[in-house]
Structure 1
Amino acid sequence: MSGTDTQDNPMKTLFHAYDIRGIAGEELDCEQAMAIARAFGDTVQEGDGRFVIGYDARTTSPSLAEAISLGLRSGGHHVTHIGLSSTPMLYWYGAEEEFDGSVMITASHLPSRYNGFKLCAGDALPLSGDQGLPEVAARVHLPFRFDRPCTPVIHHSNPLEAYLQVMRSYLRGVKPMKLAVDAGNGIGGIDTHKVFEHFNHLWLHEINFEPDGTFPNRSPNPLLPGALTRISQCVVKHGCAFGLAFDGDADRAVVVDEKGAMVSPDLLGGLLATHFLHSHPGATILYDLRSSRAIPESIEAVGGKAIRTRVGHAFVKTAMREHQALFALELSGHYYYADLHYTDNGLRTLIELAKLVSASDKPLSELLRPLQRYALSGEINLRIQDRTAALAALEQAYADASIDHLDGLSIDYPEWWFNARCSRTEPVLRVSAGATDPGQLEHHLQQIRLQLEPFQQTRSPS
């Protein structure tokens, strides 16, 4: 059976572009978790593999971790549990210790009723809907049966202190400063607190650091409206250099500047890229195709090589390996580091931004100003009935532009541009646009909406 095409597959809705997820206890239960884990283990290798499991703060995560362990061990594999963990720490530990695969139990930025799995092969290479996940889906068999003896021994490990030592090593040389961090009651507060408590000259205002899988204080998605309100207020009240908010599993980071204003994630990534290029001249930097034109322009202006990529962590990580890239950025707030096995890491982003701001006599808002040369729409979600037909209509309407299909449809004119692509996680068309001035941007967005009007559903996505 296929993870995306087979109509009679009751689990097809669980397999997505970058992970496996659903409503815990309804769409995703422990039997399904065992079957998925068995299929994952058998896809990586037939028995005798080494796998590591971690889980986030969601209330359903521990039981799903047990089910994943049973499924893997039913295939003759060896399992190590590391317990409560951020996704970046699991990636790092799985790669450092050369496990054959890893499973992170998390639904990342989704509401508390959801849960799921991020699957990686060796060296933290993620499985995706393009490679790996369909093969796993094809091996899933329900009802689940134990058809061979389980591996009898379960191993336990706590890599936190070793991981903290690595993270602290990046934080050297930062001048005294005040920062604010909002962990959103996800998992990111644990390692962040322990890293910064060793540096008495760095004052950290900790917001929502206690893990609570019900996410009582804000959405685990820091990009949703209202999610940054408290950290913005904290930054302004206490005179912090900036504030940073994690998502639920701490692989994403969204920043507000010293005035409490949200920083567009692509512009922050461009600033970090130029920071890295000062110490790694000529390095390759990847940026996702939704980013402002200012990103490649800034990278190339300081001697770096800028390469556009598709959207999504699985594609970015593969492209980083292919191009031997030093760093990569996405509009969603994922930032990737070659020296962390090409993985995305919110804590590392916090550290690098602290170093960057510390080294300058300018505040963050001024450091970003050279990148703010274009008017940007951000990502707009439109509920479309026939997305394939809608993209074809857009391509016909803008046939005189420079066009490519790296990910969806990209239209490029000298004075403005846009990308439209089908979401891999929701039934929407995602549109992002930019122009040399706000008036042009608004005009062209109106024209795009008119082109899409015949295909648009009346209800907006939640």
Structure 2
Amino acid sequence: MALSTAQVNWAALQNGSDIRGVALDGVPDEAVNLTPDVVTILGKAFVTWLASQLEKPAAELTIAVGRDSRLSGPTLMQAVIEGMAALSSRVYDVGMASTPAMFMSTVLPDFSCDGAIMLTASHLPFNRNGLKFFTRQGGLGKGDITRILQLAEQAAFKDAAVPGAIETRDLISAYAAGLVQTIRQGVNHPEQFDQPLQGLKIVVDAGNGAGGFYASQVLEPLGADTHGSQFLDPDGTFPNHIPNPENEAAMASICQAVLANGADFGIIFDTDVDRGAAVDHQGQELNRNRLIALISAIVLQEHPGSTIVTDSITSDGLTQFIEGDLGGIHHRFKRGYKNVINEAIRLDESGQPSWLAIETSGHGAMKENYFLDDGAYLVSKLLVELAKARLAGKRLTDLMAALQEPQESREVRLKIQMPDFKSYGTEVIDQLQAFVATQPDWAMVPNNYEGVRVACQSPEENGWFLLRLSLHDPVLPLNIESNRSGGTAKIAERLRAFLAPLAGLNISELER
């Protein structure tokens, strides 16, 4: 059952720097709150906000709108287009697109939009949808989203006498053509410049999201053999697996496809293609710390000494690789892809060159590409190196051969059972710092921006753990890594002595 616009809790639609809600019935106890009427109002609110920001009349704005493969996409897209056109703005309907392509609509010469909206809820279930907003400066921040929702709630809009023009435009082809040129120029093949991927078999798994274009509009023009690619057709029921490179079943599926087809490389995207991961010719995942290591090696070849900004849960082996082997600087920051990207921008603007911001989830943004978290661009950088390595008689993964990976790693989520979960979680973290001070061979890791990170230095533990407070949920995520077999269990057992007496925590997941 859908809520009317008068019943909508507008502030509850905010999810950090995005808007997200329930768009379809079908899941018990999840009332539809992202209706066409709501989205029409959000379109008007964005036009109003953008006109104010740019100090331009709404009638002089051009805004692009695209969507991923979600079932609610076409209806909601039509609604947001009508809302913006009603205030006299010109709207480009670009149909199926990726989130990074929507940003590129603001900078590509043939589009030059003032703003853009992508309808997506990333890898969330089929009944969800959402809106991501862009200007030429990049994705909107939390404060911008709050203001747009305030304008929506006030709903003080006056429709224009003459609505703005609505035009159908092919954005994804223009965006894909840019990636093709990036790879051609990056490889600079001495004999087959136009088709530098000829002779390479590359399989793509789009998870039935919006990324199927990469096989037909990027890889094939470059000469790659894409036979064996899977789930390229958009299908908002996501019948094969969740389109998410962090999902075990999704990664197992692309690994198996690489092996079954004897491919040189595998690529997997999330629903809206702002994240990607890869698989080598042996069916080994290039994901999380390994993906960060690989793209860091590429960036540090091009920009020696650069700072690499990651989220807080990356491994000690990655730090050793970036700093000891590659000569870069590893700067761990708070989780949340916007946090990581904004920190890289801040460092870079302060005079500390930072060419890469990447989270373990696969959100990777590069300075050379507008600090845009773009899974297709990140993968394209890997393909350039894959082709160059082949020319030199080497393997792409030779670049990360020195990476020391942990023997064991574990993540558990400790549920907070107190009404004010944020203050209780903060209190637990404060108490943990005092407990760590009493433990021999445990030491707080300096320059930590989130929670408590502890180096566990005894020979049988030889690892670290990080306890932090979730951004949105009543949960304390705990990450443990060890370079010893059985080490994570040893660290967990010592932590249990601290955690067990805390009545407000459910630590059953730790005890499994």
* TM band (smaller chain): 0.7 to 0.9
Q: Are 1:38 and 2:23 an aligned pair?
A: no
Counterpart in 1 of 2:207? 184
Counterpart in 2 of 1:402? 445
Q: CA deviation at 1:329?
A: 1.6
Q: 1:450 to 1:178 in 2, by over 3 A?
A: farther
Q: Are 1:390 and 2:428 an aligned pair?
A: yes
Counterpart in 2 of 1:110? 124
| Cα distance in 1 for residues equivalent to 2:408 and 2:415 | 21
Q: Are 1:13 and 2:12 an aligned pair?
A: yes
Q: Are 1:434 and 2:472 an aligned pair?
A: no
Q: CA deviation at 1:76?
A: 4.7
For normalisation by structure 1, the TM-score amounts to: 0.87
| Cα distance in 1 for residues equivalent to 2:366 and 2:344 | 9
Gaps of 5+ in 2: 1-6, 25-31, 188-195, 349-353, 438-442
C-alpha RMSD of the superposition:
2.8
Q: Are 1:303 and 2:303 an aligned pair?
A: no
8 Å Cα contact 1:266-1:330 kept in structure 2 = no
Q: CA deviation at 1:274?
A: 1.0
The residue correspondences of 1:84-123 to structure 2 (distance < 5 A) are 84-96=96-108, 97-123=111-137
**Off by >6 Å, runs of 4+ in structure 1:** none
Of residues 60-69 and 434-443 in structure 1, the stretch that sits farther from structure 2 once superposed is: 434-443
Matching residue within 154, 159, 175 for 2:171: 159
The residue correspondences of 1:352-363 to structure 2 (distance < 5 A) are 352-360=381-389, 361-363=393-395
The residue correspondences of 1:257-268 to structure 2 (distance < 5 A) are 257-268=280-291
| Cα distance in 2 for residues equivalent to 1:115 and 1:457 | 31
Matching residue within 222, 243, 246 for 2:266: 243
Matching residue within 25, 29, 35 for 1:29: 35
2:140 partner SS? coil
| Cα distance in 1 for residues equivalent to 2:221 and 2:215 | 11
Matching residue within 122, 127, 132 for 2:140: 127
2:74 partner SS? helix
Of residues 406-415 and 331-340 in structure 1, the stretch that sits farther from structure 2 once superposed is: 406-415
1:12-61 CA-to-partner distances (Å, cap 9, x unmatched) read 33211231112104121112212223333333333424322111111111
Matching residue within 375, 378, 390 for 1:349: 378
The residue correspondences of 1:241-390 to structure 2 (distance < 5 A) are 241-300=264-323, 301-324=325-348, 325-360=354-389, 361-363=393-395, 367-375=399-407, 377=409, 379-385=411-417, 386=421, 387-390=425-428
Number of residues paired by the alignment?
450
| Cα distance in 1 for residues equivalent to 2:152 and 2:408 | 43
For normalisation by structure 2, the TM-score amounts to: 0.79
Larger CA Rg, structure 1 vs 2: 2
1:133 partner SS? helix
| Cα distance in 2 for residues equivalent to 1:272 and 1:393 | 38
Matching residue within 442, 446, 471 for 1:424: 471
8 Å Cα contact 1:57-1:212 kept in structure 2 = yes
1:309-351 CA-to-partner distances (Å, cap 9, x unmatched) read 3222322332333233322221001121222211122222322
1:132 partner SS? helix
| Cα distance in 2 for residues equivalent to 1:40 and 1:420 | 38
1:156-185 CA-to-partner distances (Å, cap 9, x unmatched) read 322233222210123233463222211101
Counterpart in 2 of 1:208? 231
8 Å Cα contact 1:284-1:326 kept in structure 2 = yes
Counterpart in 2 of 1:3? none
| Cα distance in 2 for residues equivalent to 1:428 and 1:282 | 37
1:198 partner SS? helix
Q: 1:116 to 1:155 in 2, by over 3 A?
A: same
8 Å Cα contact 1:51-1:80 kept in structure 2 = yes
Paired residue type of 1:411: V
Q: CA deviation at 1:459?
A: 8.3
